């Protein structure tokens, strides 16, 4: 599996270097941990989690999802669900003036996050904030995406993200990319799991798994895309 993925990445990064007018895509979505037995192997990504009703816990959900995926890839066996509540409690105990994503990363590196109904923890070895400019997309892909999903943050203005999340059919899912529009009114930031990348025309984009449940965007089953230049922050990490 790793050789196939590396071959895909080699070809993709060549495209990134010249930004040709092409449509190319790689995603961890629907990929099996063990490609030699795809029908029986577990999936790298679990079904989309739903944080709605918990009061804006998307940051904690969006950290647990890629951590679980990395652990599945690392050990090639099922990964128990991580406790977003444990991550939240530990994160909130830190200085509140620190950005919530950085608090989570500090917790994950220093103490780790517990699995649900367990005291066993999962920790990260290190993390990096990567420049979100087009020129740095290739480096992010080479250094982190090849090993599993990443974490991204983007800005949401007004109700445009709500419209983007309405059910879509399969015919337009892959060409429907979320466009950040700062002229739409109220602003807030949203954290997601970065699960893939691509180039449409001359513009690179990131695929993400949201935390609004598997029915978000209908046939897209909780996934969306955003242009690389519209991502506010991008983080890569490695497990202990």
Local structure of 142: helix, strand or coil: helix
What does the alpha-carbon distance between residue 162 and residue 212 come to, in Å, rounded to a whole number? 11
SS (H, E, C) 76-121: CCCCCCECHHHHHHHHHCCCCCCCHHHHHHHHHHHCCEEECCCCCE
Answer for the pair 69, 45: CB distance below 8 angstroms, yes or no.
yes
Q: Is 124 exposed, middle or buried (0-12, 13-18, 19+ CB in 10 A)?
A: buried
**Entry pTM:** 0.84
**Block residue for tokens 């996934």:** 223
d(CA 2, CA 34): 10
Domain span at 204: 2-239
CA 136 to chain centre: 17
Write the CATH number for 201: 3.90.70.10
Please list the pLDDT of the chain residue by residue as tens digits (240 residues): 544 554 544 444 444 444 444 455 789 998 888 766 655 578 899 888 988 877 778 899 999 999 999 999 998 877 889 999 999 999 988 877 677 898 999 999 999 999 998 999 999 999 999 988 777 888 888 889 889 999 999 988 878 888 888 876 665 555 588 888 777 667 788 999 999 998 887 888 999 999 998 888 888 888 999 998 889 899 999 998
For residue 42, give the nearest of 28, 58, 61 by alpha carbon. 28
Overall number of domains in the chain = 1
Give me the residue label for tokens 């993400």: 208
Residues 6+ apart with CB under 8 A from 141: 9, 12, 13, 16, 197
Nearest-angstrom CA–CA distance, 192 and 148: 14
Q: How many CB atoms are closer than 10 A to CB 194?
A: 26
């Amino acid at each position: 599996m790793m050789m196939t993925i590396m071959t895909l990445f080699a070809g993709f990064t060549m495209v990134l270097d010249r930004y040709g007018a092409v449509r190319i895509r790689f995603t961890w979505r629907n990929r099996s941990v063990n490609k030699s037995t795809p029908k029986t192997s577990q999936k790298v990504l679990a079904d989309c989690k739903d944080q709605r009703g918990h009061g804006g816990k998307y940051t904690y959900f969006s950290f647990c999802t890629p951590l679980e995926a990395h652990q599945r890839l690392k050990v090639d066996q099922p990964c128990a669900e991580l406790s977003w509540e444990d991550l939240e409690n530990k994160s909130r105990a830190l200085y509140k003036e620190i950005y919530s994503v950085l608090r989570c990363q500090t917790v994950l590196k220093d103490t780790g996050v517990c699995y649900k109904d367990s005291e066993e923890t999962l920790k990260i070895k290190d993390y990096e904030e990567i420049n979100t400019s087009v020129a740095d997309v290739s480096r992010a892909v080479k250094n982190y995406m090849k090993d599993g999903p990443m974490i991204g943050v983007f800005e949401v203005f007004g109700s445009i993200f709500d419209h983007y999340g309405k059910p879509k059919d399969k015919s337009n899912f892959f060409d429907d990319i979320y466009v950040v529009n700062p002229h739409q009114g109220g602003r807030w930031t949203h954290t997601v799991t970065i699960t893939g990348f691509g180039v449409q025309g001359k513009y690179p984009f990131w695929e993400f798994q949201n935390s609004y449940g598997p029915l978000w965007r209908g046939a897209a089953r909780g996934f969306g895309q955003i242009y690389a230049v519209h991502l506010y922050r991008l983080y890569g990490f490695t497990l202990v």
